Amino acid sequence: MKIIKTLSIALFLSLLITACSNDNADVANTEDEQQKQDQQVADEEEQQWQSKPGDVMDTEGGKFTLVARNYKVGNVEVGPLSFHIPQVATLSGELYDDFKEFVGEDYIEYVQIDMEVVNSSEQDVVIQAGDIKITTSNGEEVSPSEKLSVIIDSEFEKSETKQGSLFFLLETGNVEELEWVEVKIPAPTDGSGNEIGEEKSFKVEL
């Protein structure tokens, strides 16, 4: 039961700072309305999030502070895979009880990257999302935490879509001091292990 509980908390963290739904938003249908709609979207986009930078969230697993967020990363194409990245965020957390024991730390600082990955090709594709790495503006290179991340399964069938959240626990530095992170996504491969496309690196300002 303890393992199930701690894993549930880890999954909850990936939902902690996600966007609110906007099902009732009006959609502009004419060209004349489009410019006004675009400006309205830009003005309201930040308001769609459940939490804002500086917010403190007290949960069963610990007390977490959202330090910074970039929600304008957009889409990144890596071979036949399209990575839609709703947000890259930095957080700190003081952990409680079972979750502290599960993680093995009293306090953590981390970068969270949410993503939706679409295979746009007509063939099966393999990508090792666990091999995605970040390098921070402080020079630290980090791989995703296997304990906390909701890592996307590596095998994509044609036209398949998957979602996940990667958590990169920082060993050095302070998340409040981070100016940017560089994200490196490995090239996907076919069923025989041959690379399809090239590895992609991009910088995200915080």
Token pair for 185? 């996504």
Q: What is the pLDDT along the chain (206 residues), one digit of tens a residue?
A: 444 444 455 555 665 666 554 444 444 455 566 555 544 544 445 556 778 999 999 988 899 999 999 999 999 999 999 999 999 999 999 999 989 999 999 999 999 999 999 999 999 999 988 899 999 999 999 999 998 998 888 899 999 999 999 999 999 868 999 999 999 999 999 988 899 999 999 999 99
Question: Domains, the chain, ranges and CATH?
Answer: 2-18+34-205 (2.60.40.4170)
Task: Return the pLDDT at 167.
Answer: 95
Task: Return the pLDDT at 39.
Answer: 46
